[in-house]
């Protein structure tokens, strides 16, 4: 598990320098966390509830799955909707247009990697 970077450390300073000198580093920092793209891909292809995501990724802990879903919602890559007329209320996740666009870029990156590093 990654530890939080101390605000006054040289590592924190270097991350700030990278973020201000090249926005790509900041994007990669946000989307590069373990499981994030797999979760987004599954949601975009129909796996919409926490329980079905757990079945898709059985080695993923509830805590990490919850954290990654929260981050994906925060970054605007997925939507979270509560279905109130069910008992208990269900939470449904869906990919946003921003998330779908990112998946297209990730697919292109994957294809490039297959070609260049296969």
pLDDT for 48-84, tens place per residue? 999 999 999 999 999 999 999 999 999 999 999 999 9
For CATH 1.10.10.10, list the domain ranges present in the chain. Answer: 33-117
Q: What are phi and psi of 90, to 5 degrees?
A: -95, 145
Angle at 23 between CA 22 and CA 29, to 5 degrees: 110
Angle at 63 between CA 15 and CA 56, to 5 degrees: 105
- pLDDT value for 30: 87
The pLDDT tens digits of the residues spanning 14-25 come to 777 776 777 787
CATH code: domain 33-117 is 1.10.10.10
Question: What are the CA-CA distances from residue 23 to residues 29, 48, 100, 106 (Å)?
Answer: 10, 30, 20, 17
Q: Which residues pair with 93 in a beta bridge?
A: 80
């Amino acid at each position: 598990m990654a530890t939080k970077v101390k605000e006054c450390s040289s590592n924190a300073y270097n991350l700030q320098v990278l973020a201000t000198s090249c926005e790509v580093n900041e994007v990669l920092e946000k989307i590069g966390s373990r499981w994030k793209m797999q979760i987004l891909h599954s949601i975009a292809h129909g796996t919409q509830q926490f329980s079905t995501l757990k079945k898709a990724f059985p080695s993923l802990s509830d805590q990490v799955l919850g954290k990654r879903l929260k981050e994906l919602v925060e970054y605007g890559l997925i939507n979270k909707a509560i279905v109130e007329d069910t008992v208990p209320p269900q939470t449904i996740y869906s990919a946003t247009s921003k998330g779908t666009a990112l998946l297209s870029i990730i697919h292109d990156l994957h294809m490039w990697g297959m070609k260049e590093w296969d």
